[in-house]
Structure 1
Amino acid sequence: MNQNSFIKKILFSIFCYLVVITATVDMTKNISLGSEKPEITTKTENVVKELNMLEGKEEVTEEKKEVANPVTEVKNEEKIAKVEEKNTEVTTENKGVESVTEEKIENKKVSNKYKYANKSIRVFADTKITPKAEDNLKISTRVEILEKKTVDIIKNKTVKKADGKNEVQKIVIKDNWEKIAYTKNGKKKTGWIKENQLAGTMQETLPKTWKNLDFSPVEKKEYPNNKRIHVKGIYVTSSSASLNKKMDELIALTKRTKINAFVIDVKEDDGTLLFKMEAGEKYNPLANRRAPIKDIEKFMKRLKENNIYTIARIVSFKDPTYAKANPDKAIISKATGKPFTNSDGVIWVSPHDRYLWEYNVAVAKEAAKAGFDEIQFDYVRFPASNGGKLDKELNYRNTKNESKPETIQKYLAYARKELEPLGVYIAADVYGQVGSLPDDMALGQHWESVSNVVDYICPMIYPSHYGRGVYGLPVPDAYPYKTVYHCTQDSINRNANIDTPAMIRPWIQAFTAKWVKGHINYGPKEIELQVQALRDLGIEDYILWSPTNKYRIK
């Protein structure tokens, strides 16, 4: 074979090889462009676009869409699966709630990290039950599971043999444990608990009728033109507010003490208003009948000039004036049809009344526009009903079949939504023991459901309001430091159960409770002891309550 023939054969072989390779590439190309591929590509593009919109990202560019490597396609398909799974949980009928939808998607991811004690739980140092547990967790306490372990426990069991004799046999019992992390008393702790004592959500640990409570995170804003401060406040009645001499005295108090805020009655316990309002004319003209402040602009200017942070106290559902004007809104006895009252004879309006919601928030809006920095809702609860025992006898006009805590939470959430554009903070007053008890005291005040939707939660922790033996104290009124310390610590622990709790700003006692057997006189020393208890727990804010507006402080 000469050289030319050899070269020709080599070239021919190369040509044949190239033909085969080309045919293979064409076949592969035709398969990749079959009917399924465009469908997948379109679906990927649409779902990835939707995912980016949900995450607040810009639309995918054409340049990015043209990338076609197998790894990217697999990732895109995984993304599709995740988005499709999320889309089965999210309703998008109302485009106006897209931002809320996004928040709920993220909340589901966050909430899966935690579990909640479904009863009172004993916590141990290791996977062994000892007579004395290291700690105890209250129902609804939020924990994180760190580890799971199965321990073999060997026990002796007496078994009767066929010949009638007894034989001791060793048996192995599987004991399942979970190591958890949790926050208590301001510290991060770990420990072991027996399995099957945790629930997946807080709702599962609460009464079934409370299933609609919402614990998803709520953004707590700081308004640029209304900076948050550490409030050291006093309560000011509308009568005191209307007296120049009294206001001079209270303003002077701010100059020589740490007091920097006034909580002023804007809508009082009897339903009357601080100054004449359009809200009063529209919803309840009787509320404007007194209106002691005739020039609200001048009044607010004076407070601002003295650097006083102003909080508008709005009594929500204890409103006899409104009840008189709207008897069909009052809580009534089913047996008699007459308005229900406690021993004080005051008629309460049902917190389920949406018209009263509108009225209270309308009052709050006018207060905000007048210059108040914050709105504080008081009596944001149902009336005392003997621990709920009277509920079956009362008509609360509950047309929406809501639980008490659900109604209170929805009211506060509604107020927040309406007042947010005005740049004011919202607060809610609750009973002091709400932070120590797992229920709502039959008042609708459940700690976490209130704390989650307001900026400030204000427990009324007056030592005189606690019965004998509470917190192990014979007369809590005589132990201002210990009483305030214990109930505040419980409240702090409750805040650890949710992602976006309110700041705790307690009401403390600045009066002497002469009606309490074993009481002590409250002066500068007793007030400072309460303040010190808060300070020792890391809380700088407080409000002093004195119904007479006399404050003996240094």
Structure 2
Amino acid sequence: MIKQFTRMALLFLSLFIFASVASAAKVKGIYLTQYSLENTAFLNQLIKNAKAAGIDTFVVDLEIPSKRYRENVALLKENNIRYVARIVMFPDGGTHAAISNPDVWQKKYKLVKHAIDWGAKEIQLDYIRYKSSQKPSAENAKNIHNIIQWYKNKLSGQNIPLQVDVFGVASYGESKHIGQNIKMFSQSVDAICPMVYPSHYWPFQKHYKIPYETVYDSLTRIQKQFDGKMPMKMYAYIELSNYHYRMSRAQKLAYIKAQIKAVNDANADGWYAWSPHNRYENLFYVLQNQKKSAE
């Protein structure tokens, strides 16, 4: 009887440890255009390679609902890949007229409803900002936050978490031009997704050479805004190359490794890799070799 009890106790302990480790797992995701998702042959190849590399999430654009989109989202579920729907709010940044117009918000929310009906686990809002040429004002971030709150209220009743993408510059405090304030947004989001691409930081030549430091500093600066007590998840967007400079394959691999290490060292909750044409061969190579080294 005692031995049986001991075995049961050990079993429950092992299950508890496994659950704890699983819950602490870092998100690893890639971005897909709607075109890539609807290209079934390409999607199946991506799924195969992503699973082999340990990728667990696909962030997918939804611009125009279609039957093929719905069918191929089902392929993600069949392969245990988490589907996060990316909704572009104001392409190239919003104007005062668009940002203050609830009809625009409602139009984009129709896409959100489709994504949820088709199995989206989370909604990610991108380009939720003013144009970069906007005059600086403390009201800009408040206006953007009003939209975020509106979406959060819509999604809360459906138990769907809300993610918001922000520019890397917001890591260092409020951007009064584009209207992004991470501390303010934290009141209404479940996750923040800072786009900490080294190619977007000035001076470009400096940050091109120090991808680790650029990403790590940006992420830890966000944490410092909350005295290290993050009230939401943080998934960093990383890039696979630097568009300002020609890079060899070896340089690209090192560039990717440095950013992933920075995300891990900053203790973020995971990362999403960005490739505008959805070419992830180098990323898969890096991840698969990291798995082999760990075995």
TM range (shorter): 0.7 to 0.9
State the one-letter code of the partner of 1:428: V
1:502-517 matches, within 5 Å, as: 502-513=232-243, 515-516=244-245
Partner residue, 1:195 = none
Q: Compute the displacement of 1:523 (Å).
A: 2.7
State the one-letter code of the partner of 1:488: L
Partner residue, 1:382 = 130
Q: Unaligned stretches of 5+ in structure 2? A: 1-22, 286-295
**1:234 and 1:452, CA in 2 relative to 1: closer, same or farther beyond 3 A?**
same
Partner residue, 1:353 = 101
For residues 443 and 512 of structure 1, what CA distance do their matches in structure 2 show? 23
For residues 132 and 187 of structure 2, what CA distance do their matches in structure 1 show? 23
For residues 453 and 232 of structure 1, what CA distance do their matches in structure 2 show? 24
1:449 equivalent among 145, 163, 184: 184
Partner residue, 2:54 = 258
Asked if the contact 2:233–2:269 (Cα under 8 Å) also holds between the matched residues in 1, the reply is no
Secondary structure of the residue aligned to 2:178 is: coil
Asked if the contact 1:434–1:447 (Cα under 8 Å) also holds between the matched residues in 2, the reply is yes
State the one-letter code of the partner of 1:550: R
Secondary structure of the residue aligned to 2:277 is: coil
Secondary structure of the residue aligned to 1:550 is: coil
For residues 200 and 31 of structure 2, what CA distance do their matches in structure 1 show? 18
Tell me, yes or no, if structure 1 residue 484 matches structure 2 residue 215. yes
TM-score, with length taken from structure 2: 0.80
- Higher relative CO (Cα under 8 Å, sequence separation at least 6) belongs to 2
Cα deviation, 1:11-68, whole Å, max 9, x if unaligned, reads xxxxxxxxxxxxxxxxxxxxxxxxxxxxxxxxxxxxxxxxxxxxxxxxxxxxxxxxxx
For residues 520 and 435 of structure 1, what CA distance do their matches in structure 2 show? 30
Secondary structure of the residue aligned to 2:231 is: coil
For residues 264 and 102 of structure 2, what CA distance do their matches in structure 1 show? 39
State the one-letter code of the partner of 1:526: Y
Partner residue, 1:298 = 71
Q: Unaligned stretches of 5+ in structure 1? A: 1-226, 268-272, 276-292, 321-329, 333-348, 392-401
Q: Compute the displacement of 1:414 (Å).
A: 1.0
Secondary structure of the residue aligned to 1:235 is: strand
Partner residue, 2:11 = none
1:466-485 matches, within 5 Å, as: 466-468=201-203, 475-485=206-216
State the one-letter code of the partner of 2:207: P
Secondary structure of the residue aligned to 1:241 is: helix
Secondary structure of the residue aligned to 2:225 is: helix
- 4+ long deviations beyond 4 Å: 518-522
For residues 142 and 129 of structure 2, what CA distance do their matches in structure 1 show? 11
State the one-letter code of the partner of 1:301: A
Partner residue, 2:292 = none
Q: Compute the displacement of 1:300 (Å).
A: 2.2
Tell me, yes or no, if structure 1 residue 373 matches structure 2 residue 86. no
Q: Compute the displacement of 1:520 (Å).
A: 7.1
State the one-letter code of the partner of 1:264: V
Q: Compute the displacement of 1:444 (Å).
A: 0.9
Overall identity of the aligned pairs, in %: 28
**1:549 and 1:504, CA in 2 relative to 1: closer, same or farther beyond 3 A?**
same
Q: Compute the displacement of 1:432 (Å).
A: 0.7
Tell me, yes or no, if structure 1 residue 307 matches structure 2 residue 37. no
Asked if the contact 1:352–1:407 (Cα under 8 Å) also holds between the matched residues in 2, the reply is yes
Secondary structure of the residue aligned to 2:157 is: helix
Partner residue, 2:260 = 531
Secondary structure of the residue aligned to 2:108 is: helix
Q: Compute the displacement of 1:331 (Å).
A: 4.1
Asked if the contact 1:369–1:422 (Cα under 8 Å) also holds between the matched residues in 2, the reply is no
Please give the root-mean-square deviation of Cα atoms over the aligned residues, in Å. Answer: 2.6
Tell me, yes or no, if structure 1 residue 541 matches structure 2 residue 277. no
Asked if the contact 1:511–1:545 (Cα under 8 Å) also holds between the matched residues in 2, the reply is no
Q: Compute the displacement of 1:519 (Å).
A: 6.7
State the one-letter code of the partner of 1:380: I
1:44-63 matches, within 5 Å, as: none
For residues 28 and 141 of structure 2, what CA distance do their matches in structure 1 show? 29
For residues 229 and 361 of structure 1, what CA distance do their matches in structure 2 show? 30
Asked if the contact 1:448–1:501 (Cα under 8 Å) also holds between the matched residues in 2, the reply is no
Cα deviation, 1:364-413, whole Å, max 9, x if unaligned, reads 12211111111000000011116x26x8xxxxxxxxxx921111111111
For residues 200 and 189 of structure 2, what CA distance do their matches in structure 1 show? 24
Partner residue, 1:241 = 37
Asked if the contact 1:478–1:519 (Cα under 8 Å) also holds between the matched residues in 2, the reply is no
Q: Compute the displacement of 1:241 (Å).
A: 0.9
State the one-letter code of the partner of 2:252: G
Q: Compute the displacement of 1:489 (Å).
A: 1.0
Cα deviation, 1:531-550, whole Å, max 9, x if unaligned, reads 11111121240000000100
Cα deviation, 1:111-144, whole Å, max 9, x if unaligned, reads xxxxxxxxxxxxxxxxxxxxxxxxxxxxxxxxxx
For residues 432 and 507 of structure 1, what CA distance do their matches in structure 2 show? 9
For residues 216 and 263 of structure 2, what CA distance do their matches in structure 1 show? 6
